[in-house]
Amino acid sequence: MTPKARFQAAVELLGEVLQTDRPADGIINAYYRSHRFMGSTDRRAVGTLVWGVLRTRARLSWQVEHAGATVTPRALLIAWRLLCEGADRGELLFSFPDGKPGPYDPKSLSAGETRLIDALEKVNALDHPEMPDAVRYELPDWLYERMVREFGDRTFEELEALLREAPLDLRVNTLKTTRDDVLALLEERGITAEAGTHSPWAVRVSGRPNIAALPAFQEGLFEVQDEGSQMIALAAGVKPGQSVLDLCAGAGGKTLAMAQMMNNKGSVTATDVSEKRLSRARVRLQRAGVHNVTCRPLESETNRWLKRRQGSFDVVLVDAPCSGTGTFRRNPDARWRLWPRHIDRLRTEQTALLERAATLVKPGGRLVYATCSVLGEENEARVSEFLATRADYSLDPEAGTGAPLLRFSPSRDGTDGFFVAVLKRDG
């Protein structure tokens, strides 16, 4: 593809993302599948443009409006190239045809877009002293206010960290290999990596190599998983031979980690409302050589099965649906799909899940509650409310990480934002 065709593809793709509430990664992957003529280099170039705009959407929009122009996908991409990529006027104009555009080219610049380029060339910086703080930190006003209440004098430090692109973390599959061996294997492939800081299984990779193409990945020697997420499984403290339930298993990241902690001994039941997510989990489990996990979609039959299993699990993990505010580094578009009503609904769902899970834990067993949210109303507040109504539960000082309550944040820990509480049922 020519630079012009790549720019036009980015305009089309960004337009699709901005006009829907669906997650951007799904839209982008679907676009690639429907444009199979795009090579890996083209996809990477187009993706860099689109994700770049999504990470800086509020500031770019502010700059475009401040210049007196209308915010459109083309205007945002023009602003991105000038203010973020540092393109000069000549480089930018190379993305547009001089005369009649070709079949895959963008339209020629309008007079308004030329004026926008003139204005932005004088700015020459993404940030501006007149920008409101909510714009500077890429948040809706209502969410910025909640973040200020949450973080206090650490607000700017925490929000700055949420703006940065997340690193690539791997979790070593100890059923098949060791962390030292994976580090050596990556080095042989010319990939720079180091041991993680918190998890004994974590490897942090520099850059964005195509990990999924490595034979070692296809053989199940490691999985992609944020180090903070790995710590949730570690906090559960599962042991070989136990009976474990992952109530909101999703695609199985924490299920896999717990299964390897159990050395394939005992049983793990992974349930989720989405059969599609569980299908992905099954693929990952097979690749990892895990054979003590049963996947059950949450439907009427599974609900009946769970009712018969009340009080029978050693550990129940509730990785609760949440606002996802701790993962904004990975999902920058999620900032603009979140509304206060969503958090109100999620709090109700989180409370219901805790109450349901509490009946499934055997006396002396553990209930582990986790979110990828940085908001206390989804974390400590939910646990405090639960403990106030369940006298048979208390914080477990013997949690797998040695602390019953854990918070991880991008600024302090270099991970996504996570919360985990480990509770013990009296028995």
* Residues in binding site for S-adenosyl-L-methionine: 272, 319
Annotated binding residues: 272, 319
- Is the Cα torsion angle 398, 399, 400, 401 positive or negative in sign? negative
Any idea of the CA torsion for 59, 62, 68, 72, to the nearest 10 degrees? 70
- Is the Cα torsion angle 3, 11, 26, 368 positive or negative in sign? positive
How many other CB atoms are found less than 10 A from the CB of residue 141?
A: 10
- Per DSSP, the residues of 25-80 read HHHHHHHHHH-TT--HHHHHHHHHHHHHHHHTHHHHHHHHHHTT----HHHHHHHH
Per the annotation, the verdict on 372 as an active-site residue is: yes
- Is the Cα torsion angle 424, 308, 379, 331 positive or negative in sign? positive
| CA dist., res. 311 & res. 314, Å (int) | 9
Any idea of the CA torsion for 125, 128, 131, 137, to the nearest 10 degrees? 50
Which residue in 68, 76, 64 sits closest to 7, CA to CA?
Answer: 76
Q: Which residues are catalytic?
A: 372
